Amino acid sequence: MPHGALQTELYPFERVTVLVSCALSFLGSSLLVGTHALWPELRTRPRQLLLYLSLADLLSAASYFYGALKDFSSSTWECVAQGAVSTFSNTSSFFWTMAIALYLYISIVQGSPTGTSLLCFFHVVSWGVPLVITVLAVILKKIGYDASDVSVGWCWIDIEAEDRILWMLLAGKLWEILAYVTLPVFYILIKKHINRAHAALSEYRPILSRTPALQLRTSVADKKLILIPVIFIFLRIWSTIRFVLTLCSSPAVQNPLLVVLHGIGNTFQGGANCIMFVLCTRVVRNKLLSSLCCWRSSSPEHSLASPESRSQGPDSATKDWGDAQEGDRARAEFS
């Protein structure tokens, strides 16, 4: 990959697309953080992990927005600062995504207790490892202008660094590829566990038929189990493809469609999480609608939550797979 072989020019529509995607991701991550702060009954352990993932995505979206807006043309101090922030937050997002999958596997399949020690381990790895990598990259002057060959307008690993491939792997691509492998494995094992639990309940169909809510919740759990790794891979695969094309010095790396997909995939993770765990989660969605109605109406009767919302206590909140704990509750019910 000789320097100067590829110089990806960003068209205005590509830059606007990235900026819009960053803004939506920022709003989505903010909404996830806001729901966690507003409603204590939703503060389950899985949603606590989702909170930390949202904070990483929030920082990542902001740094990508700044990079795409500034349109850097050299390794200025602003470029290095933006590249450092995006490197840290993006790598941290990978670690927290894998941490959630590991937590669900341990709690659902293994049935092991998950105390504060596991959460401390997640914090040390998911914040500490990206921080060490980013600090070393800045000290060794590996972060800088990359000519948008492996980005879409923002700064990352300096395209002129001799060992740029190694640092591209350490600063994101290695963990991205690792997530492609580990996420499907974890969620396939979890889904198999739930399916075996369904099979074990088949002999109790008369009882199960009288509890349709349990059937509905577990079917939602299965669907979202599948969606989590699928959405992650669909969003991130385009950056991996451009990375491989850049290593091969292929002109296809400049393909406008591929550039747009890369820009959306790298910046929209927070928006995708918001859609799955807020807008597509019944309990959280009802609370948001109830709060919106209360905000629009100043009458005392409208300040109260609807009967449906009041029925969503802490136990109901944790039953929804939107907080990633439906499988855990289903496992307990099945056993």
pLDDT for the residue numbered 221: 52
- pTM (2 decimals)? 0.79
Q: Considering only 151-155, 161-165, 305-309, which range has the smallest mean pLDDT?
A: 305-309
pLDDT band (50, 70, 90) for residue 25: very high
Query: Which residues 6+ apart lie within 8 Å of 235 measured at CB?
Result: 264, 265, 266, 268, 269, 272
Q: Is the model's pLDDT at 303 over the cut of 50?
A: no
pLDDT for the residue numbered 36: 85
Q: Considering only 77-81, 141-145, 210-214, 258-262, which range has the smallest mean pLDDT?
A: 210-214
Q: For the residues 49-72, what does the mean pLDDT come to?
A: 91
pLDDT band (50, 70, 90) for residue 220: low
Q: Quote the percentage of the chain above a pLDDT of 90.
A: 37
pLDDT single digits (tens) 183-203? 999 888 888 887 777 666 665
Integer angstrom CA distances of residue 275 from 37, 44, 207, 227, 268: 18, 19, 34, 11, 11
Residue pair 207/218 in contact (Cβ under 8 Å)? The answer is no
pLDDT for the residue numbered 177: 93
Q: Is the model's pLDDT at 268 over the cut of 60?
A: yes
Residues 40, 275: Cα–Cα separation, whole Å: 20
Domains of the chain: residue spans and CATH: 12-281+320-334 (1.20.1070.10)
Residues 96, 175: Cα–Cα separation, whole Å: 11
Q: Is the model's pLDDT at 47 over the cut of 90?
A: no
